[in-house]
Amino acid sequence: MNRIKQTKEELHKTNKKIEELEKNNYFIGRWFFNNFLERGFLTTLFIGIPGMICILFWIFIILIFLFENTIISVFLIILIVIILFLAMERYTKQKKEINQLSQRREILIKQVKKKEKELSRRRRRKHQLNELIERKRKDKEAEENLKIRENFIASQKKKDLALYSFKGKKCWLSNKIINELNIIKKHIDTNFMQINPYDFEEFTKHLFGQMGYSAIQTKNTGDFGADVIAKKGKDTVLIQCKRNSVGNNVSNVIVQQTLGAMWKYKANKSIIVTTSDYTVSAHHQARNAPVELWNGTYFKKLVKEILIEDTIKKQGTIDKEETK
């Protein structure tokens, strides 16, 4: 880099010196040299010298006419010739120096180009080496991270943990919880049709337990329309569960039965849970009454939020590697 800088500085000084020499050349010497001496020997002999003599002759005639004195005119002609040849000699000397500097300039230009090319090659080589080093570093880092990842997965498996996909992310959960979540998802997908009504009542009891209620399941017979009794604070909620297929909607008779059973269990609120929906008459019956109607869509939404999402948030650990 320093050598290129020094060569460029020398090249700049050479160009400046050439400019100064060309600027300081005498016009007369340059004119005489270019028009007479650089045309070749024969041209100079038969054209340049006679032409110059002719010009001096006419200058001599003009001087005689001006001064009307031959001696003075001859003296002036001699002086002009001396000045002309001095200018020509100075110009010739400077011309030679300019030619030498021009040759030196060409050499310097070639040196600069060669050195710049070499420098560019070295930079490319250095860039390639840096890329190679960086690639090897990344490969080594990736290999180390892979080993760390494999060791981490092995340690998680020893803890009986596995990855579970949830909303585009993966988290670590125990295999027991994953099995429970898979069963819940299967119940949702099959609209709880693969379990019997009693198990559906137990599932509803578990849901209310996760919601913070103290829930119990009633007997199969003689329950007066109550399947689950849930308590929280001052509230006693009577819950009737209807595991119906889609299209088999709950009628107003079930609403009346549920409202009638509230006195038996001293409940101040009642909820009917179904996997289907309700008839128009059932909605009219429940209007302004202390009873809520949970259809299949709402019930599944609660199951997803409370039994799946909340469980994952509480029990799961988001896998950082999967979120990158």
Question: Could you say which of 3.40.50.720, 3.30.420.10, 3.40.50.300, 3.40.1350.10 is the CATH number of the domain covering 191-323?
Answer: 3.40.1350.10
The Cα–Cα gap between 178 and 6 comes to 74
The Cα–Cα gap between 105 and 107 comes to 5
Amino acid 54: pLDDT: 60
Amino acid 317: pLDDT: 83
Domain definitions of the chain by residue range = 2-136, 191-323
Phi, psi of 238 (to 5 degrees): -95, 130
* Contact of 200 with 193, CB cutoff 8 Å: no
The Cα–Cα gap between 85 and 162 comes to 105
Length of the chain: 324
H-run or E-run covering 46? none
* Contact of 192 with 203, CB cutoff 8 Å: yes
Amino acid 28: pLDDT: 46
State the first-to-last Cα distance of the chain, in angstroms, to the nearest integer.
Answer: 44
* Contact of 90 with 26, CB cutoff 8 Å: yes
| Tokens describing residue 1 | 């880099």
| Tokens describing residue 265 | 């269990």
The Cα–Cα gap between 243 and 87 comes to 123
Tens of pLDDT along the chain (324 residues)? 577 777 778 777 887 876 776 666 544 445 555 555 444 444 444 444 555 566 656 666 666 666 666 777 677 777 777 766 766 666 677 777 778 878 888 888 888 788 888 888 988 999 999 999 999 999 999 999 889 988 988 988 888 899 988 878 889 999 999 999 999 999 999 999 999 999 999 999 999 999 999 999 988 665 678 999 999 999 999 999 999 999 999 999 999 999 999 988 899 999 999 999 999 999 999 999 999 999 999 999 999 999 999 999 888 888 776 544
pTM of the model: 0.59
Name the nearest CA neighbour of 261 among 277, 241, 243, 280: 241
Buried-state track 297-320, b at ≥16 Cβ within 10 A, e below 16: eebbeebeebbbeebbeebbeebe
Amino acid 244: pLDDT: 95
Left, alpha or beta for 312 (phi > 0: left; psi -120 to 50: alpha)?
alpha
Which string of DSSP letters, residue by residue, matches 57-105? Answer: HHHHHHHHHHH--HHHHHHHHHHHHHHHHHHHHHHHHHHHHHHHHHHHH
Name the nearest CA neighbour of 169 among 312, 25, 10: 312
Amino acid 278: pLDDT: 97
Q: Which 3 state secondary structure label does DSSP give 272?
A: strand
Which string of DSSP letters, residue by residue, matches 228-250? Answer: EEEEETTEEEEEEEE---TT--B
| Tokens describing residue 25 | 């050349």
State the angle between helix axes of 70-158 and 27-35 in degrees (0 to 180), rounded to the nearest 10. Answer: 90
Amino acid 91: pLDDT: 66
Amino acid 40: pLDDT: 46
